[in-house]
Structure 1
C-alpha cells in the first residue's frame, strides 16, 4: 500500500487528501518546516508545528489559514493517523508520520542528527517506508563536532578584532543564523544582523525561542561602530553593495559545502566553516537504520548515488524527484530576504 505518491503538485497522501510540502498551490498542505523550498505561498490550508507559526506567517503572509500542532500529538483525517516528530533541522522542523490500516510511512523533510541546543533533537520514527533527503549523501561529508566549529568561529572573530576588522559570517536567515548566534561568544563584542535575520529572530521569539540580543544593521549606525564586531548576513548579501559599509572586513561562510576544495575560493571568501543543518553521511545512514524501514525513497541531493548505496546494503531504495533544494552553494536571493532588508 502506498501512503505517499509523488505527483506534479508534490508529495500526496490520497487516503488523507493532503500534500506534504507541495511545490504547487493545493487545498491542504502539511508543512515540515518553514524554509522556502518546503513552505510555499498559495495553499488554502496549512498544518505545521507550533514553533513554526510566526515564521510561516512572516514568510507566507499574516493571514494564511494555519493550524499548528505539537510533536507526538496525533490527529486523524479520513482514517489516517498523522503526527509530527522532531527532525532536528531547524526550529519547528518535523518528520511527518502517516499510519493507515497498519502501514506506516514517514516523510522526514530535511533533518540533522546532531543536537544543536536550539531545535528539538532528531528522533527516529519506526516505519515501513522512509522518505529521506540526501543533500550530503556521500562519504566525503562527515562533520566534526559542532563545538569544535564554534571554537574556530570565535577564534576567527578574535583574530579579526586584532587586525581591526569586522567579521562577516554568511548563513541562512532561518536556522543557520540562529544556530550560529546561539553559539557565539557574546563577550567578545557586538553582534549585528541583516534585516532578514532580525525579522526572523523576532518571529521566533514570538514562538517562545530564546535568542541573544543583537543589533540590526541600519544606515543610521556610523561605520566605525561595526569595527571589531561580528555581522550575520544571509548568503544573498555576498558581493553586494550592502557589505561595503563594514570595510575593512573579513568574510566567512558556514555551510556543509565548505567541505569541498575550492568552494571557499569560488565565493571569494576569506574563511569557510563546515557547518550544516543537514545530516552528514554517517547521520543519514544512522537515521535510516534506526527507522527499521525496508523501503526508502531518496529525494534531493546525491539521490542516485545514495539510493544505489542503500540498494547494495539490501534495502529497497528508489530515487524520488522533488523540487526541494537542500543547502545551496550559490547565494541565490530569496523573496523574503529581498523584502526584509
Structure 2
C-alpha cells in the first residue's frame, strides 16, 4: 500500500490529516494555518487560526472576532505531533511560507511570494523540503520585473510633473501589500500622501501591529480638492471610474500591476500610466525559488499551471498542477469578508468601501488561464 502523503489537496483546502489542520482553507474548518491576509487565502468561518504576528491586526480587521494564534518566523508549533514553522514569503507584510514536518518528511506551502527584497516586508527565504507547493501567477517568460528603484524613480518623476501642471495624481494598487510598498518609496519632498479609506483602514491595522509607515492623510468628503493636487492619492482598484475618483479632476492616474507588462492592459483599465509592479515572483524568480528548495516534487496551485509545469518537467523538475480555489472568482482585493464598522461621518463608498469578496488577484488579462494576482 502506498504511503499517504503528509499534505493532501481536498475540497476544503490543503489538508494535513496527521496534524488535523488545513493551510489556507477555502471552506470553514476547525484549524486553519494562514499564509497571509489576502482574502483568497484567509477566509472567514474557521474555528481557530494560526498566522504570523504581523498579520494579526489585518486579519482581525478583515475577518472580525476570530480565535487567532500568532507566531514569529522560525517559531515551531506542534499540532498532533506535526511540526509547523513559518518562514518569510516576501509577498506582503506578515506573509509566510508554511513548513510542515513529520517523521523527516518535509513539505513547504509557499502561499504567494516574491523573491525581490522590497524593503517593506521580510524578504523571501528559500526553505529546503521534499515537496514544495508553489504559485505560478506570472509563470511565463514574458514576465520579468525591472529593479524596484527604477520603477519608483519613474513614478516620482511622473508625480512631480503632474504637480507642476496642476493635476492631481492618483496611484491605484491593492490595499494590502501594494499600497504600503508604494507609500514607503514615494518622494515626500514633492508633497503629502492622501489615501482612500480602504487603504487607510489597512494602514491603521498595520500600525496597530507595530509597523512604522510613512505619514498619510485620509481623504474625507471635506478634504479640499486644491490641497490634494499638491500631493499624491493612493486608491484601490475599486475606485477606478467612480465618482470618488472623478471628484479630483483634472487628474492622471497610474495603475500598478504585474499585468501592466502585457500590451493593452493599461488601455483596458483606462489608465494614463501603467507601472509594472507586482508582489509576486516573475518568471526567473519562480524558477530560482523552486530550485533553491531542493525539492523532489513541486505542485503548482494557481496561475499558468499547465504551461509552467510542462516547462519545469522539461528542465528536470518533477512538477504537476493541482486545482485550488486560490484566485478563482476574485474581482477585487480590498474587501474584508465581514464589513468593518463604519466610522462616524463616513460615507460609502467614498471613504471605506466594502466590496465584493476577492483579494490580491484582481483582473487578470485574457491570456491568463486561472486567475492571477498582480
Going from structure 1 to structure 2, the CA distance change for 1:271 and 1:36 (only over 3 Å counts) comes to: same
Partner of 2:279: 277
Q: Secondary structure at 2:155's aligned position in 1?
A: helix
What is the CA–CA distance in structure 1 between the aligned matches of 2:339 and 2:218, rounded to whole Å?
A: 16
Matched, 1:49 2:41: no
Partner of 1:73: 75
Going from structure 1 to structure 2, the CA distance change for 1:146 and 1:336 (only over 3 Å counts) comes to: farther
Asked whether the equivalents of residues 30 and 48 of structure 1 are also in contact (C-alpha less than 8 Å), the reply is yes
Asked whether the equivalents of residues 238 and 331 of structure 1 are also in contact (C-alpha less than 8 Å), the reply is no
Partner of 1:40: 43
1:159 to 158, 161, 164: 161
Matched, 1:13 2:11: no
Asked whether the equivalents of residues 196 and 337 of structure 1 are also in contact (C-alpha less than 8 Å), the reply is no
- Which aligned segments of 4 or more residues in structure 1 are displaced greater than 6 angstroms? none
Partner of 2:344: none
Shift of 1:338: 7.5
Partner of 1:177: 179
Partner of 1:29: 32
2:124 to 118, 122, 125: 122
Q: Secondary structure at 2:199's aligned position in 1?
A: helix
What is the CA–CA distance in structure 1 between the aligned matches of 2:36 and 2:235, rounded to whole Å?
A: 21
Post-superposition CA distance 1:275-327 (Å, at most 9, x none):
0000000100000000000200001100111111111112111101111119x
Shift of 1:337: 10
Residue segments in structure 2 that go unaligned for 5+ positions in a row: 341-351, 354-374
The TM-score normalised by the length of structure 2 is 0.88
Partner of 1:261: 263
What is the CA–CA distance in structure 2 between the aligned matches of 1:314 and 1:104, rounded to whole Å?
A: 21
Shift of 1:220: 1.0
| Paired residue total | 339
Taking the TM superposition and a 5 Å limit, the aligned residue runs for 1:240-319 are 240-319=242-321
Asked whether the equivalents of residues 33 and 49 of structure 2 are also in contact (C-alpha less than 8 Å), the reply is yes
Post-superposition CA distance 1:160-195 (Å, at most 9, x none):
112110110000000000000000001101210010
Asked whether the equivalents of residues 71 and 83 of structure 1 are also in contact (C-alpha less than 8 Å), the reply is yes
Going from structure 1 to structure 2, the CA distance change for 1:337 and 1:74 (only over 3 Å counts) comes to: closer
Asked whether the equivalents of residues 196 and 336 of structure 1 are also in contact (C-alpha less than 8 Å), the reply is no
Partner of 2:96: 94
Going from structure 1 to structure 2, the CA distance change for 1:76 and 1:332 (only over 3 Å counts) comes to: closer
Partner of 2:335: 334
Shift of 1:334: 3.1
The farther-off stretch of 1-10 and 165-174 is 1-10
Residue segments in structure 1 that go unaligned for 5+ positions in a row: none
Taking the TM superposition and a 5 Å limit, the aligned residue runs for 1:149-228 are 149-228=151-230
Shift of 1:136: 0.2
Superposition RMSD in Å: 1.6
What is the CA–CA distance in structure 2 between the aligned matches of 1:117 and 1:337, rounded to whole Å?
A: 30
Partner of 1:230: 232
Q: Secondary structure at 2:157's aligned position in 1?
A: helix
What is the CA–CA distance in structure 2 between the aligned matches of 1:270 and 1:216, rounded to whole Å?
A: 23
